[in-house]
Amino acid sequence: MFTLLQVELYKIFKRPRTYIAFIAIAGLIAIIQLGLKLDGDAYVSFVMSNVEQSFSFDGKLLNGYLVCYIILQLLLVHVPLLIALVAADMISGEANIGTLRLLLTQPISRYEIMFAKFIAAAIYTLLLLIWMAVLALFVSIWLFGTDDLIIQKTRYLVQLSSDDVFWRYIGAFGFALLAMLTVAALGFLLSVFAENSIGPIVGTISIIIFFTILSTMSIPIFQKIQPYLFTTHMVAWKDFFDVKVNSDNNVIKGTLQNKSQIIHSAWILIAHIVFFVGAATFVFKRKDILT
């Protein structure tokens, strides 16, 4: 099993297509960091303009933690597209080039193939997020330094002490991994049905876009179905940046305002992953390979 996993990872990282996502993330993050480095203060003033009359801020508002938060907000919508490039190609890509039948005539069960392929896709997703974390968090800290993180929510401001932020990023990236694994599992499921990778890749991206639109539209009829859409729960990483306050309205360090919501969303995403991968394995086990 470990050998099969090694082989699957070897195949993923030998393909030039794999590195498109790493290069795209590096490029996008670099552009955001460059823009904020050159004109970040103006951007922060603009964003905070409606609260600057009520509050006065000390220290560096534009610090590495805030830059990382801005990057995450912008990129976590697009990363699923990059995940789909690899995950939705795992089975269909092999069917397309004809290697699937060669693989299936080796002394390996179909369950093992599916398991190894999904784990390989999951490791790819993990590495992509680690890459993103290194560039978005550590490089931003190096470029912009650290200070308290101030985030503007819809109806209030959250101020997180600089010594209370780092663990939240670890939590947020961990949750983002779960969200991205859900995307990978969806791509993996669609991959089983197709004989070329374009259909599953476009299919995965279309479902994500469609569900994300439904998840974000504040129309009553859509709001009723939003709790059942996995895309609604994919953004729960933001809850790591909300904190409890005491009766004097002072922040309680190390707390999470919506901890139960984060746990609930995590379970829903895990259930989706199990369902998507289980369904993919069920279908693949019974599928006649005719390509």
Contacts with another protein, residue ranges (CB under 8 A): 3-4, 6-7, 10-11, 14-16, 97-99, 101-109, 286, 288-290
CB of 277 to another protein, least distance (A): 21
CB of 18 to another protein, least distance (A): 10
State which residue, 8 or 148, has the beta carbon closest to another protein: 8
Encoded tokens for 15: 């393909």
Residue 211 and residue 228 in contact, taking contact as beta carbons nearer than 8 Å: no
State which residue, 7 or 158, has the beta carbon closest to another protein: 7
CB of 106 to another protein, least distance (A): 4
State which residue, 15 or 244, has the beta carbon closest to another protein: 15
Closest CA to 169 of 238, 96, 269: 238
* Amino acid residing at 237: W
CB of 9 to another protein, least distance (A): 11
Q: What whole-number distance in Å separates Cα of residue 173 and Cα of residue 169?
A: 6
State which residue, 266 or 283, has the beta carbon closest to another protein: 283
Given its phi and psi angles, is residue 145 left (phi above 0), alpha (psi -120 to 50 degrees) or beta?
left
State which residue, 60 or 110, has the beta carbon closest to another protein: 110
Q: What whole-number distance in Å separates Cα of residue 237 and Cα of residue 242?
A: 10
Q: What whole-number distance in Å separates Cα of residue 202 and Cα of residue 67?
A: 31
Residue 185 and residue 276 in contact, taking contact as beta carbons nearer than 8 Å: yes
CB of 289 to another protein, least distance (A): 4
DSSP label at 251?
B
